[in-house]
Structure 1
Protein backbone atom coordinates (compact mmCIF):
# COMPACT_ATOMS: atom_id res chain seq x y z
CA UNK A 1 0.00 0.00 0.00
CA UNK A 2 1.55 3.37 -0.99
CA UNK A 3 2.39 5.85 1.77
CA UNK A 4 -0.19 8.54 2.44
CA UNK A 5 1.04 12.12 2.15
CA UNK A 6 -0.70 13.72 5.14
CA UNK A 7 0.16 17.24 4.02
CA UNK A 8 -1.52 16.79 0.64
CA UNK A 9 -4.56 15.20 2.27
CA UNK A 10 -4.83 18.20 4.58
CA UNK A 11 -4.59 20.61 1.65
CA UNK A 12 -7.33 18.80 -0.29
CA UNK A 13 -9.59 18.73 2.77
CA UNK A 14 -8.96 22.42 3.40
CA UNK A 15 -9.78 23.37 -0.17
CA UNK A 16 -13.05 21.44 0.03
CA UNK A 17 -14.06 22.76 3.48
CA UNK A 18 -13.87 19.30 5.07
CA UNK A 19 -11.84 20.25 8.13
CA UNK A 20 -13.35 20.34 11.61
CA UNK A 21 -13.76 23.77 13.15
CA UNK A 22 -10.77 24.65 15.27
CA UNK A 23 -10.72 26.22 18.71
CA UNK A 24 -9.79 29.92 18.66
CA UNK A 25 -6.09 30.33 18.08
CA UNK A 26 -3.77 31.71 20.70
CA UNK A 27 -3.13 35.38 19.86
CA UNK A 28 0.12 35.80 17.92
CA UNK A 29 3.20 36.77 19.84
CA UNK A 30 3.83 40.50 19.94
CA UNK A 31 7.56 39.90 19.90
CA UNK A 32 8.80 40.79 16.45
CA UNK A 33 11.99 39.72 14.75
CA UNK A 34 14.38 42.68 14.69
CA UNK A 35 17.84 41.07 14.58
CA UNK A 36 20.09 39.68 11.88
CA UNK A 37 18.15 37.82 9.19
CA UNK A 38 20.88 35.61 7.70
CA UNK A 39 21.76 32.35 9.46
CA UNK A 40 24.61 29.88 8.97
CA UNK A 41 22.67 26.63 8.68
CA UNK A 42 20.01 25.74 6.14
CA UNK A 43 16.47 24.95 7.31
CA UNK A 44 16.91 27.14 10.37
CA UNK A 45 15.06 30.23 9.12
CA UNK A 46 13.00 30.76 5.99
CA UNK A 47 11.52 34.07 4.88
CA UNK A 48 8.59 34.90 2.64
CA UNK A 49 7.24 37.94 0.83
CA UNK A 50 5.49 38.88 -2.39
CA UNK A 51 5.65 41.26 -5.32
CA UNK A 52 3.71 42.09 -8.45
CA UNK A 53 4.52 42.96 -12.05
CA UNK A 54 2.61 43.86 -15.19
CA UNK A 55 2.68 42.04 -18.54
CA UNK A 56 2.90 43.81 -21.89
CA UNK A 57 -0.84 43.37 -22.47
CA UNK A 58 -1.67 45.00 -19.14
CA UNK A 59 -2.32 41.82 -17.16
CA UNK A 60 -1.05 41.96 -13.60
CA UNK A 61 0.58 39.01 -11.85
CA UNK A 62 1.33 38.63 -8.15
CA UNK A 63 4.08 36.35 -6.86
CA UNK A 64 4.46 34.85 -3.38
CA UNK A 65 7.75 33.10 -2.56
CA UNK A 66 9.77 31.46 0.22
CA UNK A 67 13.57 31.63 0.62
CA UNK A 68 16.05 29.92 2.91
CA UNK A 69 17.90 32.62 4.88
CA UNK A 70 21.14 30.63 4.77
CA UNK A 71 21.72 29.61 1.15
CA UNK A 72 19.09 32.00 -0.35
CA UNK A 73 17.46 29.22 -2.36
CA UNK A 74 13.97 30.05 -3.61
CA UNK A 75 12.21 27.02 -2.14
CA UNK A 76 8.78 27.53 -3.65
CA UNK A 77 6.70 30.23 -5.31
CA UNK A 78 3.20 30.81 -6.63
CA UNK A 79 1.94 33.15 -9.36
CA UNK A 80 -1.66 34.40 -9.11
CA UNK A 81 -3.99 36.96 -10.64
CA UNK A 82 -5.62 37.82 -7.31
CA UNK A 83 -4.28 39.44 -4.17
CA UNK A 84 -1.85 38.09 -1.61
CA UNK A 85 -4.07 35.69 0.33
CA UNK A 86 -3.73 33.12 3.09
CA UNK A 87 -4.40 30.13 0.84
CA UNK A 88 -1.58 31.07 -1.53
CA UNK A 89 0.81 31.52 1.39
CA UNK A 90 -0.17 28.09 2.71
CA UNK A 91 0.51 26.52 -0.69
CA UNK A 92 3.95 28.14 -0.73
CA UNK A 93 4.64 26.89 2.80
CA UNK A 94 3.68 23.36 1.82
CA UNK A 95 5.79 23.46 -1.34
CA UNK A 96 8.81 24.71 0.61
CA UNK A 97 8.50 21.94 3.21
CA UNK A 98 8.15 19.32 0.47
CA UNK A 99 11.17 20.75 -1.35
CA UNK A 100 13.41 20.38 1.70
CA UNK A 101 11.85 17.46 3.59
CA UNK A 102 9.86 15.42 1.07
CA UNK A 103 6.99 13.64 2.83
CA UNK A 104 8.49 14.28 6.26
CA UNK A 105 8.23 17.28 8.57
CA UNK A 106 11.16 19.21 10.08
CA UNK A 107 12.69 17.51 13.13
CA UNK A 108 12.84 20.92 14.82
CA UNK A 109 10.80 24.05 14.00
CA UNK A 110 11.95 26.21 11.10
CA UNK A 111 11.45 29.92 11.73
CA UNK A 112 9.07 31.44 9.15
CA UNK A 113 9.92 35.16 8.89
CA UNK A 114 7.49 37.53 7.15
CA UNK A 115 6.18 41.07 7.27
CA UNK A 116 2.88 41.97 8.90
CA UNK A 117 0.64 41.47 5.88
CA UNK A 118 -2.82 40.10 6.64
CA UNK A 119 -2.16 36.94 4.59
CA UNK A 120 0.72 36.09 6.96
CA UNK A 121 -0.95 37.10 10.22
CA UNK A 122 -4.21 35.25 9.51
CA UNK A 123 -5.00 32.59 12.12
CA UNK A 124 -5.39 29.88 9.47
CA UNK A 125 -1.96 30.72 8.03
CA UNK A 126 -0.26 30.51 11.40
CA UNK A 127 -2.09 27.30 12.33
CA UNK A 128 -1.10 25.66 9.04
CA UNK A 129 2.51 26.81 9.50
CA UNK A 130 2.74 25.10 12.87
CA UNK A 131 1.18 21.92 11.46
CA UNK A 132 4.06 21.85 8.97
CA UNK A 133 6.75 22.43 11.59
CA UNK A 134 7.20 26.15 10.91
CA UNK A 135 7.28 28.82 13.62
CA UNK A 136 5.79 32.12 12.37
CA UNK A 137 7.71 35.31 13.17
CA UNK A 138 6.79 38.81 12.00
CA UNK A 139 9.11 41.74 11.40
CA UNK A 140 8.72 44.97 13.32
CA UNK A 141 5.92 47.16 11.97
CA UNK A 142 7.11 49.61 9.29
CA UNK A 143 10.52 47.95 9.28
CA UNK A 144 10.93 46.13 5.93
CA UNK A 145 14.70 45.94 6.46
CA UNK A 146 13.97 43.32 9.13
CA UNK A 147 13.14 41.02 6.22
CA UNK A 148 16.07 42.24 4.17
CA UNK A 149 16.84 38.95 2.41
CA UNK A 150 13.34 38.83 0.93
CA UNK A 151 13.51 42.52 -0.01
CA UNK A 152 16.87 41.99 -1.72
CA UNK A 153 15.50 38.98 -3.62
CA UNK A 154 12.58 41.04 -4.96
CA UNK A 155 15.00 43.66 -6.29
CA UNK A 156 17.18 40.97 -7.88
CA UNK A 157 14.38 39.04 -9.56
CA UNK A 158 12.80 42.23 -10.95
CA UNK A 159 16.07 43.77 -12.14
CA UNK A 160 17.87 40.71 -13.52
CA UNK A 161 14.94 38.63 -14.78
CA UNK A 162 11.49 40.22 -15.02
CA UNK A 163 12.77 43.40 -16.65
CA UNK A 164 14.27 41.46 -19.57
CA UNK A 165 12.18 38.27 -19.90
CA UNK A 166 9.39 38.05 -22.52
CA UNK A 167 6.03 38.69 -20.85
CA UNK A 168 3.47 39.42 -23.60
CA UNK A 169 0.71 37.86 -21.47
CA UNK A 170 0.15 36.21 -18.12
CA UNK A 171 0.62 32.61 -19.25
CA UNK A 172 3.91 33.34 -21.00
CA UNK A 173 5.11 35.41 -18.05
CA UNK A 174 4.34 32.63 -15.55
CA UNK A 175 6.25 30.09 -17.67
CA UNK A 176 9.27 32.35 -18.06
CA UNK A 177 9.20 33.31 -14.39
CA UNK A 178 9.47 29.63 -13.43
CA UNK A 179 12.58 29.40 -15.61
CA UNK A 180 13.90 32.60 -14.01
CA UNK A 181 13.53 31.14 -10.51
CA UNK A 182 15.39 28.00 -11.57
CA UNK A 183 18.18 30.04 -13.15
CA UNK A 184 18.43 32.15 -9.99
CA UNK A 185 18.77 29.02 -7.84
CA UNK A 186 21.33 27.34 -10.08
CA UNK A 187 23.42 30.21 -11.38
CA UNK A 188 22.85 33.62 -9.77
CA UNK A 189 25.91 34.63 -7.71
CA UNK A 190 25.55 36.17 -4.24
CA UNK A 191 28.22 38.25 -2.54
CA UNK A 192 27.11 36.82 0.83
CA UNK A 193 27.74 33.31 -0.55
CA UNK A 194 31.20 34.07 -1.89
CA UNK A 195 29.70 34.81 -5.32
CA UNK A 196 28.26 31.33 -5.60
CA UNK A 197 24.67 30.47 -6.43
CA UNK A 198 22.18 29.14 -3.85
CA UNK A 199 22.44 25.54 -5.03
CA UNK A 200 26.18 25.77 -5.59
CA UNK A 201 27.01 26.78 -2.03
CA UNK A 202 26.14 23.36 -0.60
CA UNK A 203 25.76 21.46 -3.85
CA UNK A 204 22.49 20.38 -5.42
CA UNK A 205 20.67 18.90 -2.44
CA UNK A 206 18.04 16.20 -2.72
CA UNK A 207 15.01 16.56 -0.49
CA UNK A 208 15.35 15.13 3.00
CA UNK A 209 13.00 12.26 3.59
Structure 2
Protein backbone atom coordinates (compact mmCIF):
# COMPACT_ATOMS: atom_id res chain seq x y z
CA UNK A 1 0.00 0.00 0.00
CA UNK A 2 2.82 2.41 0.87
CA UNK A 3 4.66 1.61 -2.36
CA UNK A 4 1.57 2.30 -4.48
CA UNK A 5 0.96 5.64 -2.77
CA UNK A 6 4.61 6.64 -3.15
CA UNK A 7 4.56 5.84 -6.87
CA UNK A 8 1.26 7.70 -7.40
CA UNK A 9 2.56 10.84 -5.66
CA UNK A 10 5.89 10.83 -7.49
CA UNK A 11 4.19 10.26 -10.88
CA UNK A 12 1.66 13.05 -10.37
CA UNK A 13 1.91 16.02 -12.81
CA UNK A 14 1.90 18.46 -9.87
CA UNK A 15 3.78 18.88 -6.60
CA UNK A 16 4.03 16.18 -3.98
CA UNK A 17 2.20 18.46 -1.51
CA UNK A 18 -0.78 18.81 -3.85
CA UNK A 19 -0.74 15.07 -4.59
CA UNK A 20 -0.86 14.29 -0.88
CA UNK A 21 -3.90 16.55 -0.49
CA UNK A 22 -5.68 14.80 -3.36
CA UNK A 23 -4.95 11.38 -1.88
CA UNK A 24 -5.83 12.47 1.65
CA UNK A 25 -2.36 11.65 2.94
CA UNK A 26 -0.35 13.78 5.33
CA UNK A 27 2.66 15.33 3.59
CA UNK A 28 4.75 14.70 6.70
CA UNK A 29 3.98 11.02 6.49
CA UNK A 30 4.91 10.90 2.81
CA UNK A 31 8.31 12.52 3.42
CA UNK A 32 8.92 10.29 6.42
CA UNK A 33 8.24 7.25 4.28
CA UNK A 34 10.58 8.48 1.59
CA UNK A 35 13.49 9.50 3.78
CA UNK A 36 13.51 7.43 6.94
CA UNK A 37 10.94 4.65 7.06
CA UNK A 38 10.92 1.29 5.38
CA UNK A 39 8.22 0.69 2.80
CA UNK A 40 7.44 -2.65 4.42
CA UNK A 41 4.42 -2.50 6.72
CA UNK A 42 5.27 -3.56 10.25
CA UNK A 43 2.87 -4.60 12.96
CA UNK A 44 2.62 -2.01 15.73
CA UNK A 45 4.81 -2.68 18.75
CA UNK A 46 2.93 -2.63 22.00
CA UNK A 47 4.46 -0.28 24.52
CA UNK A 48 4.69 -1.45 28.09
CA UNK A 49 3.25 1.11 30.46
CA UNK A 50 5.37 1.47 33.60
CA UNK A 51 2.17 1.94 35.62
CA UNK A 52 0.47 -1.19 34.31
CA UNK A 53 -0.98 -3.31 37.13
CA UNK A 54 1.05 -6.34 38.04
CA UNK A 55 -0.52 -9.75 37.53
CA UNK A 56 -0.31 -10.38 41.28
CA UNK A 57 -2.30 -7.19 41.90
CA UNK A 58 -4.98 -8.18 39.39
CA UNK A 59 -5.24 -11.63 40.94
CA UNK A 60 -5.59 -10.12 44.43
CA UNK A 61 -8.38 -7.79 43.25
CA UNK A 62 -10.29 -10.64 41.59
CA UNK A 63 -9.82 -12.97 44.54
CA UNK A 64 -10.97 -10.37 47.05
CA UNK A 65 -13.98 -9.50 44.89
CA UNK A 66 -15.06 -13.14 44.72
CA UNK A 67 -14.76 -13.38 48.51
CA UNK A 68 -16.84 -10.20 48.96
CA UNK A 69 -19.39 -10.17 46.10
CA UNK A 70 -21.62 -7.70 47.98
CA UNK A 71 -19.00 -4.94 47.70
CA UNK A 72 -18.81 -2.57 44.73
CA UNK A 73 -15.52 -1.39 43.31
CA UNK A 74 -15.03 1.66 45.56
CA UNK A 75 -15.64 -0.34 48.71
CA UNK A 76 -13.33 -3.09 47.44
CA UNK A 77 -10.67 -0.47 46.69
CA UNK A 78 -10.91 0.92 50.22
CA UNK A 79 -10.75 -2.47 51.93
CA UNK A 80 -7.93 -3.76 49.71
CA UNK A 81 -5.85 -0.76 50.77
CA UNK A 82 -6.95 -0.92 54.41
CA UNK A 83 -5.94 -4.58 54.64
CA UNK A 84 -2.58 -3.84 52.95
CA UNK A 85 -3.35 -6.12 50.01
CA UNK A 86 -3.26 -3.79 46.98
CA UNK A 87 -2.72 -0.05 46.62
CA UNK A 88 -4.29 1.05 43.33
CA UNK A 89 -6.89 3.59 42.21
CA UNK A 90 -10.66 2.93 42.32
CA UNK A 91 -10.75 3.12 38.51
CA UNK A 92 -8.09 0.40 38.26
CA UNK A 93 -10.17 -1.86 40.50
CA UNK A 94 -13.20 -1.17 38.31
CA UNK A 95 -11.31 -2.01 35.09
CA UNK A 96 -10.07 -5.31 36.51
CA UNK A 97 -13.57 -6.26 37.71
CA UNK A 98 -15.09 -5.29 34.37
CA UNK A 99 -12.56 -7.38 32.45
CA UNK A 100 -13.60 -10.38 34.57
CA UNK A 101 -17.34 -9.59 34.30
CA UNK A 102 -17.54 -8.97 38.04
CA UNK A 103 -19.24 -5.57 37.95
CA UNK A 104 -22.83 -5.92 39.22
CA UNK A 105 -25.54 -3.96 37.40
CA UNK A 106 -26.31 -0.60 38.94
CA UNK A 107 -29.90 0.13 39.94
CA UNK A 108 -30.72 3.79 39.52
CA UNK A 109 -33.24 5.38 41.83
CA UNK A 110 -35.72 8.10 40.99
CA UNK A 111 -34.24 11.58 40.57
CA UNK A 112 -34.46 13.57 43.76
CA UNK A 113 -36.14 16.90 44.14
CA UNK A 114 -34.30 19.89 45.51
CA UNK A 115 -33.93 19.58 49.24
CA UNK A 116 -32.73 21.56 52.19
CA UNK A 117 -30.35 19.55 54.32
CA UNK A 118 -28.40 20.23 57.50
CA UNK A 119 -24.77 21.24 57.06
CA UNK A 120 -22.97 20.48 60.34
CA UNK A 121 -19.32 21.43 60.79
CA UNK A 122 -18.57 18.92 63.55
CA UNK A 123 -19.91 15.64 65.00
CA UNK A 124 -23.09 15.71 67.10
CA UNK A 125 -24.39 19.02 65.84
CA UNK A 126 -27.20 17.29 63.92
CA UNK A 127 -28.76 13.87 64.34
CA UNK A 128 -31.37 12.19 62.15
CA UNK A 129 -33.90 9.64 63.34
CA UNK A 130 -36.16 7.36 61.34
CA UNK A 131 -38.11 4.12 61.57
CA UNK A 132 -38.40 1.23 59.12
CA UNK A 133 -40.15 -2.14 59.06
CA UNK A 134 -38.12 -5.34 59.51
CA UNK A 135 -39.94 -8.58 58.58
CA UNK A 136 -39.29 -11.44 61.00
CA UNK A 137 -41.21 -14.63 60.29
CA UNK A 138 -44.08 -12.77 58.59
CA UNK A 139 -44.32 -10.28 61.47
CA UNK A 140 -43.19 -6.68 61.16
CA UNK A 141 -40.79 -5.39 63.78
CA UNK A 142 -39.55 -1.81 63.89
CA UNK A 143 -35.96 -0.66 63.49
CA UNK A 144 -35.35 2.80 64.93
CA UNK A 145 -32.05 4.38 63.87
CA UNK A 146 -30.32 7.54 65.06
CA UNK A 147 -27.54 8.84 62.78
CA UNK A 148 -24.99 11.62 63.18
CA UNK A 149 -25.20 13.71 60.00
CA UNK A 150 -21.61 14.98 60.00
CA UNK A 151 -19.91 11.60 60.32
CA UNK A 152 -22.72 9.25 59.15
CA UNK A 153 -22.06 7.28 62.33
CA UNK A 154 -25.02 5.35 63.78
CA UNK A 155 -25.14 6.77 67.30
CA UNK A 156 -28.15 4.78 68.46
CA UNK A 157 -30.59 2.12 67.31
CA UNK A 158 -33.11 -0.41 68.58
CA UNK A 159 -35.26 -3.22 67.18
CA UNK A 160 -38.69 -3.26 68.81
CA UNK A 161 -42.03 -5.00 68.45
CA UNK A 162 -44.04 -1.80 68.80
CA UNK A 163 -43.64 1.76 67.58
CA UNK A 164 -44.98 4.58 69.74
CA UNK A 165 -43.53 7.88 70.88
CA UNK A 166 -42.17 6.12 73.95
CA UNK A 167 -39.92 3.88 71.82
CA UNK A 168 -38.59 7.00 70.08
CA UNK A 169 -37.97 8.57 73.47
CA UNK A 170 -36.12 5.47 74.64
CA UNK A 171 -33.67 5.49 71.70
CA UNK A 172 -32.98 9.22 71.94
CA UNK A 173 -32.61 9.09 75.70
CA UNK A 174 -30.09 6.24 75.56
CA UNK A 175 -28.05 8.09 72.90
CA UNK A 176 -28.06 11.33 74.88
CA UNK A 177 -26.74 9.41 77.87
CA UNK A 178 -24.23 7.29 75.96
CA UNK A 179 -22.66 10.28 74.21
CA UNK A 180 -22.46 12.43 77.31
CA UNK A 181 -25.05 15.08 76.46
CA UNK A 182 -27.25 14.65 79.53
CA UNK A 183 -25.81 17.68 81.31
CA UNK A 184 -24.56 19.50 78.22
CA UNK A 185 -26.00 22.93 77.50
CA UNK A 186 -25.74 22.32 73.76
CA UNK A 187 -27.39 19.17 72.49
CA UNK A 188 -27.70 17.75 68.97
CA UNK A 189 -30.50 19.07 66.76
CA UNK A 190 -32.91 16.25 65.87
CA UNK A 191 -34.11 15.93 62.26
CA UNK A 192 -37.06 13.67 61.51
CA UNK A 193 -40.04 13.17 59.22
CA UNK A 194 -43.70 13.88 59.99
CA UNK A 195 -44.65 10.47 61.34
CA UNK A 196 -47.30 10.46 64.02
CA UNK A 197 -44.94 9.02 66.66
CA UNK A 198 -42.41 11.79 66.03
CA UNK A 199 -45.07 14.51 66.10
CA UNK A 200 -46.65 13.22 69.29
CA UNK A 201 -47.28 16.05 71.75
CA UNK A 202 -45.69 14.19 74.68
CA UNK A 203 -42.50 13.46 72.73
CA UNK A 204 -42.18 17.05 71.56
CA UNK A 205 -42.67 18.29 75.11
CA UNK A 206 -40.06 15.86 76.45
CA UNK A 207 -37.54 16.97 73.78
CA UNK A 208 -38.11 20.63 74.62
CA UNK A 209 -37.57 19.96 78.31
CA UNK A 210 -34.43 18.02 77.45
CA UNK A 211 -33.15 20.96 75.38
CA UNK A 212 -33.24 19.19 72.00
CA UNK A 213 -34.43 21.25 69.03
CA UNK A 214 -36.64 19.17 66.73
CA UNK A 215 -36.65 19.89 63.00
CA UNK A 216 -39.33 18.33 60.75
CA UNK A 217 -38.82 17.44 57.12
CA UNK A 218 -41.18 18.69 54.44
CA UNK A 219 -44.33 16.56 54.01
CA UNK A 220 -43.93 13.75 51.45
CA UNK A 221 -40.30 14.68 50.71
CA UNK A 222 -38.17 11.76 52.00
CA UNK A 223 -35.13 13.35 50.33
CA UNK A 224 -34.87 15.69 53.31
CA UNK A 225 -33.63 12.65 55.25
CA UNK A 226 -31.74 11.19 52.29
CA UNK A 227 -28.66 10.20 54.31
CA UNK A 228 -30.64 8.07 56.73
CA UNK A 229 -33.00 6.80 54.03
CA UNK A 230 -29.94 5.52 52.19
CA UNK A 231 -28.74 3.67 55.27
CA UNK A 232 -32.17 2.08 55.76
CA UNK A 233 -32.13 0.87 52.18
CA UNK A 234 -28.60 -0.46 52.54
CA UNK A 235 -29.20 -2.40 55.76
CA UNK A 236 -32.27 -4.02 54.23
CA UNK A 237 -30.64 -4.95 50.92
CA UNK A 238 -27.36 -6.20 52.37
CA UNK A 239 -28.37 -7.62 55.74
CA UNK A 240 -32.10 -7.99 56.38
CA UNK A 241 -33.47 -9.44 53.14
CA UNK A 242 -30.71 -12.06 52.64
CA UNK A 243 -30.88 -12.96 56.36
CA UNK A 244 -34.37 -14.47 56.77
CA UNK A 245 -34.14 -14.30 60.55
CA UNK A 246 -35.82 -17.10 62.52
CA UNK A 247 -36.53 -14.75 65.45
CA UNK A 248 -35.93 -11.25 66.79
CA UNK A 249 -32.77 -12.31 68.62
CA UNK A 250 -31.04 -13.40 65.41
CA UNK A 251 -32.31 -10.24 63.74
CA UNK A 252 -30.88 -8.03 66.48
CA UNK A 253 -27.52 -9.82 66.33
CA UNK A 254 -27.34 -9.57 62.52
CA UNK A 255 -28.34 -5.92 62.37
CA UNK A 256 -25.92 -5.12 65.21
CA UNK A 257 -23.03 -6.73 63.33
CA UNK A 258 -23.93 -4.84 60.17
CA UNK A 259 -24.07 -1.51 62.01
CA UNK A 260 -20.66 -2.23 63.51
CA UNK A 261 -19.32 -2.91 60.03
CA UNK A 262 -21.05 0.17 58.63
CA UNK A 263 -19.62 2.43 61.32
CA UNK A 264 -16.06 1.12 61.38
CA UNK A 265 -15.24 -0.51 58.05
CA UNK A 266 -17.49 0.78 55.29
CA UNK A 267 -16.09 3.83 53.43
CA UNK A 268 -18.37 6.59 52.16
CA UNK A 269 -17.82 8.38 48.89
CA UNK A 270 -19.31 11.58 50.31
CA UNK A 271 -16.75 11.46 53.15
CA UNK A 272 -13.75 11.09 50.86
CA UNK A 273 -13.72 7.29 51.18
CA UNK A 274 -13.20 7.13 54.92
CA UNK A 275 -15.43 5.42 57.47
CA UNK A 276 -17.96 7.13 59.73
CA UNK A 277 -15.72 6.33 62.69
CA UNK A 278 -12.77 8.08 61.03
CA UNK A 279 -14.93 11.18 60.64
CA UNK A 280 -16.34 10.92 64.14
CA UNK A 281 -12.96 10.91 65.90
CA UNK A 282 -11.37 13.45 63.55
CA UNK A 283 -8.79 11.30 61.81
CA UNK A 284 -10.25 11.40 58.29
CA UNK A 285 -7.49 13.62 56.87
CA UNK A 286 -4.80 11.44 58.42
CA UNK A 287 -6.32 8.33 56.82
CA UNK A 288 -6.53 10.04 53.41
CA UNK A 289 -2.89 11.20 53.56
CA UNK A 290 -1.65 7.75 54.64
CA UNK A 291 -3.56 6.21 51.76
CA UNK A 292 -1.96 8.63 49.29
CA UNK A 293 1.56 7.80 50.54
CA UNK A 294 0.94 4.06 50.22
CA UNK A 295 -0.55 4.54 46.76
CA UNK A 296 2.54 6.48 45.60
CA UNK A 297 4.82 3.80 47.06
CA UNK A 298 2.88 1.06 45.24
CA UNK A 299 3.07 3.06 41.99
CA UNK A 300 6.85 3.31 42.30
CA UNK A 301 7.22 -0.41 42.96
CA UNK A 302 4.96 -1.24 40.01
CA UNK A 303 6.97 1.10 37.78
CA UNK A 304 10.28 -0.51 38.72
CA UNK A 305 8.98 -4.05 38.18
CA UNK A 306 7.43 -3.20 34.80
CA UNK A 307 10.65 -1.53 33.63
CA UNK A 308 12.71 -4.58 34.61
CA UNK A 309 10.31 -6.79 32.68
CA UNK A 310 10.66 -4.55 29.62
CA UNK A 311 14.48 -4.72 29.62
Q: Distance in 2 between matches of 1:194 and 1:174?
A: 30
Q: Which has the higher strand share?
A: 1
Aligned to 1:135: 213
Q: How does 1:30-41 map to 2 (within 5 A)?
A: 35-41=116-122
Aligned to 1:17: none
Deviation at 1:143, TM superposition (A): 1.0
Deviation at 1:119, TM superposition (A): 0.6
1:85 matches 2:164: yes
Q: Is the 8 A contact 2:128 2:147 kept in 1?
A: yes
Q: Is the 8 A contact 1:111 1:137 kept in 2?
A: yes
Partner SS state of residue 131, structure 2: strand
Q: Deviation per CA, 1:167-188, whole angstroms, max 9, x where unpaired?
A: 1222211222122222211112
Q: Distance in 1 between matches of 2:270 and 2:120?
A: 11
Partner SS state of residue 179, structure 2: helix
Deviation at 1:38, TM superposition (A): 4.2
1:113 matches 2:194: no
Deviation at 1:133, TM superposition (A): 2.6
Deviation at 1:199, TM superposition (A): 0.9
Q: Distance in 1 between matches of 2:177 and 2:212?
A: 13
Q: Distance in 2 between matches of 1:111 and 1:203?
A: 19
Correspondent of 1:64 among 115, 130, 144: 144
User: What runs of 5+ residues in structure 2 fail to find an aligned partner?
Assistant: 1-114, 284-311
Which protein has greater RCO, CA pairs closer than 8 Å, 6+ apart? 1
Q: Distance in 2 between matches of 1:148 and 1:139?
A: 11
Q: Is the 8 A contact 2:123 2:280 kept in 1?
A: no
Q: Which has the higher helix share?
A: 2
Aligned to 1:74: 154
**Relative to structure 2, which stretch is displaced further, 165-174 or 108-117?**
165-174
Correspondent of 1:98 among 158, 172, 177: 177
* Structure ID, larger Rg: 2
Aligned to 1:16: none
CA RMSD of aligned residues (A): 2.0
Q: Deviation per CA, 1:89-114, whole angstroms, max 9, x where unpaired?
A: 00111122122216x33322421100
User: What runs of 5+ residues in structure 1 fail to find an aligned partner?
Assistant: 1-33
Aligned to 1:195: 273
- When the two structures are aligned, how many residues end up with a matched partner? 169
Q: Distance in 1 between matches of 2:166 and 2:237?
A: 28
Q: Distance in 1 between matches of 2:184 and 2:124?
A: 8
Aligned to 1:45: 126
Aligned to 2:260: 182
Task: Compute the TM-score of the two structures, normalised by the length of structure 2.
Answer: 0.51
Task: Compute the TM-score of the two structures, normalised by the length of structure 1.
Answer: 0.73
Q: Distance in 2 between matches of 1:97 and 1:132?
A: 10
Aligned to 1:168: 246
